Amino acid sequence: MLGTHEVMSTDITLYWGSGSIPCWRAMICLEEKGLSGYDSKLISLEKKEQKSDEILKINPRGQVPAFKHGDVVVNESMAICLYLENIFKKQGTQLLPDDPSHQALVLQRFMETQNIMDKSKALFYYRLQTKQEDWDQECIVEKIKALAEELSLWEKYLSQSGDGFLITEDFTLADAALIPALAFLKRMKLPMKEGFPHLASYYERVKDRPSVQSGWPPHWKETPGYDYLKDV
Ligand SMILES: N[C@@H](CCC(=O)N[C@@H](CS)C(=O)NCC(=O)O)C(=O)O
């Protein structure tokens, strides 16, 4: 007999795209909550399938992740993660600790991971659109500095935590958001081990966790990545 919120995972649909960090966060939380049987709909971002009527009906921005639980629609990856933890509180991994100070820190770090994505994407997209001979422009130097400073903060955070996860010995929402961001940096050839050793050893400790592996972007397994962050 299922409890009030222990619905079958088949009531859940997730539209996602390969290589999308926001989608990966949501997928990690689904797995951690023991909801691996959800209806997983992989769409092609390249073919712009996120602009299909089917997805626009759920997410008027035409973006993924787009998530449905029964008749409940949740967009925005971080909202999906929080929703899963709140609704399936008693199920699978507890992603938000009860202790107020730990909970505050988990929520803060969870949201803070967006800074890593914003700063790495600023550099990545600029380089994608700029000829390599122009890569030393002042503006690029500024972007490299901003990302390096951001990552130094995380280096400090991790130097203060033990050999477990980001905040405590337990995997939390903060880890669900941090590990895909680090995988993105690795794919863009950030020299993590040399410049950010705590981030590198955290990445090695967490990357093989089943929930993380389950959302690993399929096309990343077959293609080598890019050099866009190799000088950070
Ligand atoms: N803030 C949103 C961002 C979602 C997002 O940017 N999704 C991208 C994939 S990573 C997307 O659907 N891009 C296609 C588009 O905007 O048309 C979230 O966290 O869910």
**Per-residue pLDDT tens digits for 51-101:** 999 999 999 999 999 999 999 999 999 999 999 999 999 999 999 999 999
Average pLDDT, the chain: 93
Distance from C-alpha of 195 to C-alpha of 62, rounded to nearest angstrom: 37
Q: Is 64 in the pocket of ligand 1 (CB under 6 A)?
A: yes
CB-based contact 185:120 (threshold 8 Å): yes
Phi, psi of 109 (to 5 degrees): -65, -35
Q: Is the pLDDT of residue 209 over 60?
A: yes
Residue 1's pLDDT band, with cuts at 50, 70 and 90, is: very low
Average pLDDT for 27-33: 98
- The domains found in the chain, sorted by start residue, are 9-87 (3.40.30.10), 100-221 (1.20.1050.10)
- DSSP letter for each residue of 205-232: HHTTSHHHHHTS-GGGGTS----TTTT-
Average pLDDT for 102-106: 97
Radius of gyration for the chain, computed over Cα atoms and rounded to the nearest angstrom: 18
Helices H, strands E: what count in the chain? 9, 4
- Nearest CA, atom 13, ligand 1: 63
- Nearest CA, atom 14, ligand 1: 63
Which pLDDT tens digit goes with each residue over 137-188?
788 889 999 999 999 999 999 999 888 999 989 999 999 999 999 999 999 9
Residue 7's pLDDT band, with cuts at 50, 70 and 90, is: low
Residue 90 Cα to ligand 1 midpoint, Å, equals: 29
Q: Is the pLDDT of residue 45 over 60?
A: yes
Show the tokens assigned to 86.
């709140």
Check residue 133 and give its pLDDT: 80
Residue 22 Cα to ligand 1 midpoint, Å, equals: 7
